[in-house]
Amino acid sequence: MEKDHDLFAWRAFRSQIGENLKNIPPSLVRVAEVARKSTDVRIRKLRLDRWDEEVDIALYLFNSTLTHIPDFNPMTKAEFKRIVDRVRPFMDPDLALFAEAEEKPIGFCVAIPDVNRVLIHLNGRLFPFGWLKVKRLIRQIDVVSFKLMGLLKEYRRRGIDALLYLEAMKAIYEKGYAWMDGSVTSENNPAVNLLASSMGAERYKHYRIYKMKL
C-alpha cells in the first residue's frame, strides 16, 4: 500500500472565537471587512421554505467550486439530493450561508449541528419512537460540524471566503455552541487548511487514504 492523500479534521472552541469575534486574528477580520465594503457581495441564510431551489443552487456551487481537487467527480442531482434530504431535519438555516454577487450565487458555506450527538442515543432505530427522541435531543447538541465551503474561481482572492467564514463563526458563537468541528479537509485544498489554521483552529485528526496498484 502507498499513500494516496491525507485528510484533516479541525477543532475550534467557543473561547477561540470570542464575543463579537474578538479572538479572531485581526488580519482575517480586515480582509473580510475589505470584501464587505469593496464588493457588491451579499451573504444570506438558507431558505428552508424554498428547499428544492436551494438544493439546486448548492449542487451547482458544489460541482463548480471543487473542480481543482484531483479526481473530483461532480455529483448528480439525485445523488446530492439523497444526501442533503437526510440532513434536512437537522439543518439550522443560520449556519448555512450563500454568497451572492451580480444577482447570482458565487459561494457557500455549510455547518450542521453534529447529528452524531443524537444518533448515538437511538441504537440504530428511528422507528417507531426514534424521531421523538430526535426532536428532544437535537436541542441539546453543543457541537457544530463545519462541512462545506466553496467559492467560484473568478471570485477568489477577494476576501469573500473570509467574509463567509466570519459570518458563520458569528452565528455559531451567538447560538451557544461549545465548539466547532471542521471535517474533513483535503491536503489538496490548501486554501481551506490555511484559513482554518489562521483562525487558530487545532488539527486534531489526521486521516490517510492508501492505494494499491493492481
Residue 132: the pLDDT is 60
Indicate whether 145 pLDDT > 70. yes
Domains, in order of start, for the chain:
2-211 (3.40.630.30)
User: How are beta strands 179-186 and 143-151 bridged, if at all?
Assistant: parallel
Indicate whether 95 pLDDT > 80. yes
Mean pLDDT of all residues belonging to the chain: 87
What is the rounded distance in angstroms from the CA atom of residue 46 to the CA atom of residue 90? Answer: 13
Residue 123: the pLDDT is 67
Residue 80: the pLDDT is 95
Indicate whether 130 pLDDT > 60. no
pLDDT tens-digit readout, 151-177: 999 998 889 988 998 899 899 999 899
Residue 129: the pLDDT is 56
Percent of the chain with pLDDT over 70: 92
167 vs 128: which has the higher pLDDT: 167
How many Å is the maximal CA-CA distance in the chain? 54
Please report how the helices 190-198 and 160-174 are oriented relative to each other, as an axis angle in degrees rounded to 10: 50
Indicate whether 121 pLDDT > 80. no
User: How are beta strands 42-45 and 96-101 bridged, if at all?
Assistant: antiparallel
Region 171-199 average pLDDT? 86
Percent of the chain with pLDDT over 90: 43
Which residues pair with residue 3 across a beta bridge?
Answer: 210
Supply 60's cell numbers.
451547482
